[in-house]
Chain A
């Protein structure tokens, strides 16, 4: 395969740059686009190549109104998702008409040694302009020494009236490597949206 020098002096058909050229510390590993998807799973690329991994979810739109976007991990390449999680969850919200605003811990969305899915965006509306966006940061998922920490932040549009900012953090309470992550809503499909997986070097 030849190197193609285009008129704009760009290069094509290059598969790798020398180590002396930095490609940036965040490497895009995978992108998945929802289209009436029951689940979106990342079953490859999560290993010891990077010390941490970041999922960015963009305009995740539920098919079912006021459903909660959530995730779980797998230690068996995605054969099952149900690693024990302990987590905390708090949120801020503000109504468009300024009638309500608060910061509060939400006991409905945390987990205590549970194998349930962890909510990262609760009560997301399915109006045509409603969705959830944010990130999930997973630290050292391949460790066989430590439990696996995660941190997430989301903002979503609820019921055509509220901006809600969710903060969850916790850990997969296992010393087995976590090698897959699955996302879904607690009810109905992921109508649309994009989830990107990055490795942080």
Chain B
């Protein structure tokens, strides 16, 4: 196939180059619209979640729940999304601050972590606690080497959620899916009600 040069100096008929294209590669974006769950399943709908990349990064933009004061959470699957419930142990801590300045702090959140639990894990608590239309949460989750059959699977996340009359959170979470079976799907949901709006973007991070 010939190289085609346009008058604006762009080119077509090129499907690959030997040039470096950046380490962060966009794989898939899911947009919530009153969605009960949003799932990324390897091999489905263009999703790659295997040994292609050593690290996968999810970015969350303005996740807005249908129900006020709910938890944004995730779990993973080792069977292509047939079920979500891999044993997870993690830590959770957060910084908080009120808009009226009346309270702030940095705390370990013993009530929000989990120990060898197959429950959905807490990524961001108390989202849209007071129910305003402009409230949401944003952040990221990194999943390390999900295809490993040697090691457990580490997950690290950080979220910011705003609040009008209550606390804003800067919430951290890190832990491991305690399995040596490959993880090939990830699901996100609210603890109650739908994800009313928001985007979740999946990226692969190259190691070379």
A110 to B95: give the CA distance in the assembly, Å.
11
Least CB distance, A50 to chain B, in whole angstroms: 10
Q: Which of A17, A25, A90, A173 contacts B24 (CB 8 A)?
A: A25
Interface string of A1-22 (1 = CB under 8 A from B): 1010000000101111110111
**A interface size (C-beta, 8 A):** 48
A170 to B93: give the CA distance in the assembly, Å.
16
Q: Which of B9, B101, B134, B170 contacts A14 (CB 8 A)?
A: B9
Summed over the interface, the residue pairs from A and B with CB atoms below 8 Å come to a total of 150
Asked whether, in the complex, the Cβ of B16 is within 8 Å of the Cβ of A21, the reply is yes
A18 contact set on B, CB distance < 8 A? 10-14
**B82 touches A (CB below 8 Å):** no
Decide if the interface of chain B is mainly helix, strand, loop or mixed.
Answer: strand
- 5 more A-B residue pairs beyond the given contacts A14-B11, A139-B61, with a C-beta to C-beta distance below 8 A: A3-B11, A11-B11, A88-B96, A104-B106, A149-B160
Asked whether, in the complex, the Cβ of A3 is within 8 Å of the Cβ of B5, the reply is yes
A16 contact set on B, CB distance < 8 A? 8-11
Q: Which of B3, B14, B97, B160 contacts A21 (CB 8 A)?
A: B14
Question: 25 pairs across A/B with beta carbons < 8 Å?
Answer: A11-B11, A15-B8, A15-B9, A15-B10, A17-B10, A18-B10, A18-B13, A21-B21, A24-B24, A25-B22, A26-B24, A51-B59, A88-B104, A88-B170, A90-B106, A147-B134, A149-B138, A149-B162, A151-B139, A151-B160, A167-B170, A168-B170, A169-B170, A170-B160, A171-B162
User: Interface size for chain B: under 10, 10 to 19, 20 to 34, or 35 or more residues?
Assistant: 35 or more
Interfacial residues, chain B to chain A (CB-CB below 8 A): 3, 5, 8-17, 21-26, 59, 61-62, 64, 95-101, 104-106, 133-139, 158, 160-162, 168-170, 199, 201, 203
